[in-house]
Structure 1
């Protein structure tokens, strides 16, 4: 009986622990996404500005 109770307690705590680890991983992943979103937006704007500058400086390549 003691073995059964111990097994059930460890089984339940194992699922609680696993839930906590998964939740913590997802939270850190979402924080990383939020932190890098600004960097990606800035890099995208910089690339667009470079494309516009290149097209303006080399208008003969764009056909306009």
Structure 2
């Protein structure tokens, strides 16, 4: 996650990631393949699961 400049949100629960991208398709791939699938894989290997809400800070109506 260091490549996304991960910061803990002031609410101490959420995280803020900075994801550089050029196209919406590239952003979708980063979110789904690189972040969510990898997190789910790590959790599954430990007999756990993930719950996520991904929301764009610049457009709260945009979420994944």
Q: Same fold (TM over 0.5)?
A: no
Please identify the structure whose Cα radius of gyration is greater. 1
TM-score (norm 2): 0.36
TM-score (norm 1): 0.36
Higher RCO by CA contacts (8 Å cutoff, separation 6 or greater): 2
| Structure with a larger share of its residues in strand | 2
